[in-house]
Amino acid sequence: RVQVAESGGGSVQAGGSLSLSCVPAEGNVSRYCMGWFRQAPGRRREGVATIYSDGTVKYADSVKGRFTISRDSAKNTMYLQMNSVEPGDAAMYHCAADFMPAAYLCAVDYRWESWGAGTQVTVSS
């Protein structure tokens, strides 16, 4: 299990942008499958995006074209750039990381077994 820490949440107006960051407690971001999922009160947990060690990225349909997942190995940080934010994007965003032997396992709906404490994203209309 890889411990991670998120940052960057906050309040944003609908249509605006926000960037989230995630840092693993050990190892480099380029070694893992890393991903974001979100949970809002009364709603099911929803996978948002993943990035595999080979650079393969995947997105939930709800964020495709608006969010971008990326990483910077030199800074050992993984990012989620959120553009054209919508009210439905408001949630607690959690980062997670794990070793996976193949890219197809690094799925957006992967059931992570450990994750960070989360960072809150609030959207005002």
Q: pLDDT tens for residues 14-48?
A: 999 999 999 999 999 999 999 999 999 999 999 99
> Which pLDDT belongs to residue 3?
96
Mean pLDDT across the chain = 97
pLDDT at 106 over 90: yes
SS3 (DSSP) at 121: strand
Q: In whole angstroms, what is the distance from residue 88 CA to residue 71 CA?
A: 25
> Which pLDDT belongs to residue 1?
82
Using left for φ > 0, alpha for ψ between -120 and 50, and beta otherwise, residue 15 falls in left
